[in-house]
Amino acid sequence: MKTKMVISVMSKDRPGIIADVTGALLQLEGDVADLNQTVLCGYLTMILGVTFPSGITREDIFASISHVKSGEKFEISVKELPETENFNEIPQPEESYILSLQGPNCKGIVHAVSSICGRNNVNIIDLGTSLQQDRYTMAVQCSIKEATCTLEELRKEFEEYGRDANQTIMMQHYDLFRATNEVTLH
Amino acid sequence: MLRSDQILSTVEMIQKENLDVRTVTMGINLLDCHAETVAKTCANIEEKIHTFAGNFVPTCNEMGERYGIPVVNKRISVTPIAFVGAGFERDGFVEIAKALDRAATSVGVDILGGFSAQVEKGMTQTDHEFIASIPDALAQTEKICASINIATTKKGINMDALAMMGHTIKAIAEKTADNNGFGAAKFVVFCNQPGDNPFMAGAIHGLEESEAVLNVGVSGPGVIARALDRLIAAHPEPGALQFDELAEEIKQTTFRVTRCGELIGRAVSMSLGIEFGVVDLSLAPTPAIGDSVGEIFKILGVDAIGAPGSTAILAMLNDAVKKGGIFASKTVGGLSGAFIPVMEDSLLAEAVGDGSLCLEKLEAMTCVCSVGLDMVAIPGSVDADTISAIIADEMAIGVINAKTTAARLIPVPGKEVGDSVSFGGLFGAAPIMPIRNIGKSSRFIAWGGRMPAPIHSFKN
């Protein structure tokens, strides 16, 4: 029986962090099934899905990664997945939409948008923001499969927020963005 | 997750450039509707259209809502009616037109095309009866569009049919004189008419097509114009952009626009269980501000539409649209080129008014784009033979160059050069186009017979 762990690591960014962390996991015979990383404000954060031989514990993983020599201590979090869940069985939600927001920067935008999502049981799958010359841009991928309102109602709620907050908000099906940006025709 | 710049480029297309799907057109074969009587044939036609297209409009609206891209027009094309009504007489064809009109209204489509005949080589007695019925059919219906294919590259031009076209157009205009000859705006004469074109007035469901099929027309020229504007604004310094870079921008924008059409068309197709046909890449302008092919001429460097350079610009535009679109879609068809319908494009109409665009230049431009002399309002006094001769020139361009060409000329009753005409809505408005050398082609039209098919070698 294998053990499946989800591990998150945050550290000051420098060349070689991913090699060091995955090297530490390899020493425990860990097999990286999935990895996602990003750098923000000079800090790197990564989240990994790793399969280990049975018997490997959360403490073993903490210890192995903590031994990596780095300028700053890693912040590590480890969760064990139930046996019934698999890394590669998280399909793209059927009703996945992209919410895009553009406008002047102001406080509380992410909170407001995510609150509307949360209130209507819309699950945020991915979210990215950028700020250029006081122009704020946010792109949110979300699933409305379990939403407690209709798409029309959701669009209306975002429109109202956009009007009040002087932001332009649009919500389009994810497939539209794939179709217009990917070579492969799905 | 896609990168945010990719997301924003698509968002800009939708938001600022009025991206839409210009039309989803359902082609329906009506051959099996033919019965012994006109009445039974009409009943069969209405029943079949209801069966196939009953949920068509709501489904298009639902998909438009789901994807956040509107489907502007929902249309139907049918098997050329001269085949469906074989053996019927003129009055019978008028009854069929009325039945089609009722069916189109009942299922809620904007317009229905296919009141048509294909007579590029010869005409049957039915074809004669059918052609004779067109003026009344168009005058007594609202949503019906008619077309006649009188020429192909393989058969040449049917000169007998050509001679009839001038008289037919005049008769249609006169029957609808109380509306400035509007009926003629719903009648097109074709060379090499495609059987899968989703755009009106020339849409038919060709004999080569299956029982029912969905064809999609992509968004209009406004999207291309705004993309070019943005590119040029980002490179303000002289010499920063060259013509090939503008062509590349058109190509990439068309790719994205075509993908949107394909996505929504296939979603409608899957939902209705009706085969997906083709994406037609044509850039079809509308009279709305910012949705003009004429505007693209000006963006690309001529200060007047019709000025030297206009044909070259149109050639590049047409080619770049095809290059971008063909890679984006599994199946491309229809007309797939830039349209230059004068009345439907406010800047082209303006160019006619200020004298910068004349009929001869327009004809030259149709050599490098689809679809031909489209929506040109001419003086009501122009004689039938002159109209047929103008059509003959346009047909010859199509025959020799192995491309689709067409003529949609509107001799506006009681109007002359200096006047204007407006049909409103998508059909637009324009000043009356001057016609030179009126009445000097009758001996040519009188020959009749056929213009033989051209040789396909020694291309010069």
**Whole-complex ipTM:** 0.77
Whether B15 contacts chain A with CB within 8 A: yes
Interchain CB contact of B356 with A (< 8 Å): no
Instruction: Report, as an integer, the average pLDDT of A149-161.
Output: 93
On whether both A75 and A137 belong to a single domain, the answer is no
The winner for highest mean pLDDT among A57-61, A79-83, B150-154 is B150-154
Topology of domain B1-460 in CATH is: Anaerobic Ribonucleotide-triphosphate Reductase Large Chain (3.20.70)
Q: Quick one: A64 and A119 in the same domain?
A: no
Q: How far apart are CA B288 and CA B298, in angstroms?
A: 17
Q: What is the pLDDT of residue A90?
A: 56
Same domain, A107 and A162: yes
Contacts of B233 (CB under 8 A, 6+ apart): none
Phi, psi at B231, each rounded to 5°: -65, -45
Selected for mutation to probe chain B from A176, A182, A183, A185 (highest B CB count within 10 Å) is A176
Band the pLDDT of A128: cuts 50, 70, 90.
confident
User: Is A102–B8 a contact, with Cβ atoms under 8 angstroms apart?
Assistant: yes
The verdict on residue A90 lying in a domain is no
Chain A residues at the B interface, defined by Cβ less than 8 Å, are: 98, 100, 102, 125-126, 128, 130, 137, 139, 141, 151-152, 168, 170-173, 175-181, 185
* A172 contacts in chain B (CB < 8 Å): 10-11, 14, 67-69
For the residues A75-103, what does the mean pLDDT come to? 81
In a domain, A87, yes or no: no
Tell me: do A61 and A105 sit in the same domain: no
More confident residue, B246 or A170: B246
Q: Could you tell me if B428 and B374 are in contact, meaning their C-beta atoms sit under 8 angstroms apart?
A: no
**Does B268 reach chain A within 8 Å, measured CB to CB?**
no
Among A80, A113, A146, identify where a domain stops.
Answer: A80
Give the pLDDT of residue B261: 92
* Co-location of A6 and A71 in the same domain: yes
Q: Where does the pLDDT of residue A92 fall: very low under 50, low under 70, confident under 90, or very high at 90 and above?
A: low
Side chain identity, residue B433: M
User: Residue A163 falls within a domain, yes or no?
Assistant: yes
Residue from the list B14, B68, B262 with its beta carbon closest to the beta carbon of A179: B262
Report how many Cβ contacts below 8 Å link chain A to chain B.
72
A66 with A132, same domain: the answer is no
Distance from CA of B63 to the nearest CA of A (A): 10
Of B8, B321, B72, give the one whose Cα is nearest residue A100: B8
Each residue's pLDDT, cut to its tens digit, for chain B (460 residues) gives 566 677 777 777 777 677 889 999 999 999 999 999 999 999 999 999 999 999 999 999 999 999 888 899 999 999 999 999 999 999 999 999 999 999 999 999 999 999 999 999 999 999 999 999 999 999 999 999 999 999 999 999 999 999 999 999 999 999 999 999 999 999 999 999 999 999 999 999 999 999 999 999 988 899 999 999 999 999 999 999 999 999 999 999 999 999 999 999 999 999 999 999 999 999 889 888 888 999 999 999 999 999 999 999 999 999 999 999 999 999 999 999 889 999 999 999 999 999 999 999 999 999 999 789 999 999 999 999 999 999 999 999 999 999 999 999 999 999 999 999 999 888 999 999 999 999 999 999 999 999 999 998 887 7
Residue A157: per-residue pLDDT: 95
CB atoms A176 and B11 under 8 Å:
no
Q: Average the pLDDT over A142-161 and give the result.
A: 93
Q: Which amino acid is at A182?
A: E
Q: What is the CATH number of the domain that holds A155?
A: 3.30.70.260
% pLDDT > 70, chain A: 96
CB contact under 8 Å between B260 and A179, yes or no, is: yes
Pick from A168, A175, A181: CB nearest B6 = A181
Distance, in Å, from the CA atom of B35 to the CA atom of B95, rounded to the nearest integer, reads 14
Contact B373, B363 (CB under 8 A): yes
Q: Does residue A88 surpass a pLDDT of 70?
A: no
Cβ distance B7 to A100 less than 8 Å, yes or no, reads yes
Strands (E), B18-155: 21-28, 71-78, 111-118, 144-152
Chain A residues inside the 8 Å CB shell of B21: none
> Does A183 score more than 90 pLDDT?
no
Residue A93 has pLDDT above 80, yes or no: no
CA distance B5 to chain A (A): 10
**Statement to judge: residues A71 and A113 lie in one domain:** no
List of chain A residues whose C-beta atoms are within 8 Å of the C-beta of residue B263: 175-176, 179
Give the model's confidence band at A91: pLDDT under 50 very low, under 70 low, under 90 confident, else very high: low
List strand residue ranges (DSSP E) for B10-168, in order.
Answer: 21-28, 71-78, 111-118, 144-152, 156-158
- Decide if A106 is inside a domain: yes
Instruction: Note whether A179 contacts B263, CB cutoff 8 Å.
Output: yes
Query: Are the beta carbons of A171 and B68 separated by less than 8 Å?
Result: yes
Contact call for A139 and B4, based on CB within 8 A: yes
- Say what the pLDDT of residue B425 is: 87
B330 part of contact set with chain A, CB < 8 Å: yes
Helix (H, G, I), strand (E, B) or coil at B103: helix
User: At which of A80, A110, A138 does a domain end?
Assistant: A80
A127 and A101 in a common domain: yes
Query: Does residue A50 form part of some domain?
Result: yes
Q: What sign for the dihedral angle of Cα B157, B394, B407, B224?
A: positive
Residue B141 CA from chain centroid, whole number: 19
Region A7-19 average pLDDT: 91
State the pLDDT at residue B445: 98
| pLDDT-based confidence at residue A89 (cuts at 50, 70, 90) | low
Residues of chain A positioned with their CB less than 8 A from the CB of B328 = 185
Nearest to A130 among B2, B4, B66 (CB): B4
Please list every residue in chain A whose beta carbon sits closer than 8 Å to the beta carbon of residue B252.
none
Residue B262 in contact with partner chain A when CB distance is under 8 A:
yes
Instruction: Kindly give the interhelix angle for B243-272 and B221-233, rounded to the nearest 10 degrees.
Output: 140
Q: Across the interface, which of B8, B67, B329 has its CB nearest the CB of A176?
A: B67
Cβ separation A137–B328 shorter than 8 A:
no
Instruction: Please check whether residue B274 touches A, CB under 8 A.
Output: no
User: Which chain A residue is nearest to residue B331, measuring alpha carbons?
Assistant: A185
CA B380 vs. chain centroid, Å, equals 23
Q: Do both A70 and A123 map to the same domain?
A: no
Same domain, A124 and A175: yes
In this complex, which of A98, A100, A180 lies closest to B260 when CB atoms are compared?
A: A180
Calculate the alpha carbon distances from B312 to B107, B247, B336, B341 in Å.
Answer: 43, 12, 18, 18
Q: Which domain holds residue A129?
A: 96-181
Q: Which residue of A has its CA nearest to B67?
A: A173
Answer yes or no: is A88 within a domain: no
- Give the residue extent of every domain in chain B: 1-460
Same domain, A69 and A102: no
Domain boundary among A25, A48, A80: A80
Residue B2 and residue A98: Cβ atoms within 8 Å? Answer: yes
The Cα of B260 is separated from the nearest Cα of chain A by a number of Å equal to 6
Number of domains within chain A: 2
Round to whole Å and give the CA distance between A24 and A68: 7
Same-domain check for residues A55 and A111: no
Chain A neighbors of B8, CB-CB under 8 A: 100, 102, 137, 139
Residues 6+ apart with CB under 8 A from B132: B90
**pLDDT class of A70 with cuts at 50, 70, 90:** confident
More confident residue, A3 or B380: B380
Contact A181 B65 (CB under 8 A): no
Q: Identify all chain B residues contacting A177, using CB atoms and an 8 Å cutoff.
A: 2, 6-7, 10
Reading the block at residue B455, the tokens are 């040789």
